[in-house]
Amino acid sequence: MNDTSYQIEYLKAMNRKLGDQERIYKLLVQHSDHAYIYYSFVTDEIHTLGLFRDFFDFEINNSEEIMLLSDIIDRDYTDVLIECLYPERIGCDNRTGEVYDYHKQRWLLIETSLLKDNNGQYTEKIIKISDITEEHNKKNEIVNLAYCDSLTGLYNRSYFISRLTEMISKAKEKNDRIALISIDIDEFKRVNDGLGMNIGDELLIKFGSFLKELENDRVMISHLSNDIFTIAIYNPVGDYSVDKFRALILKKLETPFMISNRQEVSISVSMSAAVYPEDADSALDLISCTDIVMYKCKALGKGQFKYFDNTILNEFLDNIALEKDLNKAVLNNSFIVHFQPQYHSDSKRLRGMEALVRWKDDDKGIIPPSVFIPLAEKTGCIIPIGKFVLEESIKQYAKWKKEYNADFVISINISALQYKKDDFVKSVIEVIEKYKVEPKNVELEITESILIDDFEAVTNKLNELRKYGVKISLDDFGTGYSSLSYLKKFPIDTLKIDKSFIDTLLVDNPTRIITESILDMSHHMGFESIAEGVESEEQYNYLNDVGCDVIQGYYFGKPHPAEELESILGEI
């Protein structure tokens, strides 16, 4: 046999071997007890394998439709589902979690693994879905048999939904109405973090005991989940009206709860309400309505109350659509960075540029950060967005430095989620060294919210960055409830006075007093001061007179793309 014949026979043998391996692989997948979703980041192709069609009543044809799974998953597990489906958003190579499919009343285990290329870029994702209902039920048999929440003694979620369904059936027969009130304890996480989970649990027990006293033949109470309670009221009129129950709850909360360690704890709650049959005709839909309203209440602050209506629903649906578009924008990297100049107040010399991210949408044009940043924070999209802004900003500064011999500060906003990542400090230093930028020319802007969860851990990271040479700026100063207490031990170089103070500076005497006090304190503590949102000559003159170091705002310059700032840089 000559060499050519041998090579041909060898290739045939290899093809037969590959064919056999592919056939074995297909048989293994087809005869497994699992459903699979395969996605290629490179080609944007998606495939469903295994028992997917047996598991679900829908097909997934593109990457966006992966979120169809959320339509059948109990709302309490939405965050777990998203973390499992998109671990790349938080920089994880794999993720596992259990979720509840309320459509088919089963428990599903979601296991996601990602593959990277040699450059560390994600190339493929495989999602494995298993039905673990039997295993889960065995493990939680005692809990599932019980009707009541083990902590508060109130009805648990599953039994409450069952009873609410029965209540709705009765109301339908008798042409009656049912009101559902959802109660969410405001900032309950701070109670757990600040006082400990034992105190948090005791607070839930005491609040639940109060609600239990309101229960009777027409009123049903549930500890739905975490810090959320629900009240279902049959025929809500007169003494059984929603307003009546809301008044009783608010009256109770006027007095602090006395905890077993003799500590008094005060709380506030946000409440939402929906009514059968006006708003929904099933138990789950009625609960969903109050959930939607609660999102709105939480966005407005503490102690809110609202009824479900079409305006809130439409706003919620708009947010869902925006979230979908944002996910797509992250995948397509549809973001750009604009830069707003900062000037020394006395000399009007350029002090620096603040990098400000913008979302460039093909249909909607430029979308400002005030619209999408809160959603990006909520969904975790802020991690890849923040990584892009960090690199793009420093890359642009390095270009300016080379072309114009520029020597100024590049300020970059950093989110709380970015700071929480273990490799945050390392990632910042790597980008700085990648573009050969001097650390002293890089300033990271943070807000007080970063400090809430873990002050010590964040402070350690900031100290490490300052030791490396990076500047730290505290943004939106004056809007947080405890800014002053943090300043004593917080490692910062710069204090930025919030725009809300500048807006009323010339017409409100208390605002002037506060602003001047901040500036005086800033100077005595050795901080550089920046006033943002300066839009008029009168505001600038006043701030310059009272000693503000740096001015930023439309008066000196709006945010612009990098190429539109060349005239400014040419004057340095």
Q: Give the pLDDT band of residue 140 (cuts 50, 70, 90).
A: low
> Contact 355/393 with Cβ under 8 angstroms?
yes
* Mean pLDDT across 137-158: 74
User: What is residue 452's predicted lDDT score, i.e. its pLDDT?
Assistant: 61
pLDDT-derived band at 16, boundaries 50, 70, 90: low
Helices 157-174 and 283-300: angle between axes, nearest 10 degrees: 110
The pLDDT of residue 455: 73
Contact between 208 and 226 under an 8 Å Cβ cutoff? The reply is no
Q: What is the pLDDT of residues 278-325, one digit of tens each?
A: 999 999 999 999 998 998 888 788 889 999 988 888 888 888 888 888
Give the model's pLDDT for residue 18: 44
User: In this predicted model, what pLDDT tens digit does every residue of 376-397 receive, in sequence order?
Assistant: 888 888 999 999 999 999 999 9
The torsion angle over the Cα atoms of residues 106, 107, 110 and 111, rounded to 10 degrees, is -120
For 543-566, what is each residue's pLDDT tens digit?
999 999 999 999 999 999 998 888
Q: Which residues contact 199 (CB under 8 A, 6 or more apart)?
A: 191, 192, 259, 261, 263, 265
What phi, psi does 46 have (nearest 5°)? -135, 140
With a cut of 70, say whether residue 240 has pLDDT above it: yes
Q: Which of 476, 372, 356 is nearest to 412 (CA)?
A: 356
Question: Is pLDDT at 440 greater than 90 in this prediction?
Answer: yes
Least confident of 132-146, 274-288, 399-413, 456-470: 132-146
**Number of residues written out for the chain:** 572
Confidence class for position 262, pLDDT limits 50, 70, 90: confident
Mean pLDDT along residues 369-378: 86
Nearest of 398, 495, 407 to residue 445 by alpha carbon: 495
Reported as a single tens digit per residue, the pLDDT across 453-510 is 667 788 888 899 999 999 999 887 766 544 566 677 778 899 998 888 898 888 888 8
Across the chain, what does the average pLDDT equal?
Answer: 86
491: alpha, beta or left? (left if phi > 0; alpha if psi -120 to 50) = beta
DSSP states of 435-461 as a string? TT--GGGEEEEE-THHHHH-HHHHHHH
Contact indicator for 527, 548 with CB cutoff of 8 Å: no
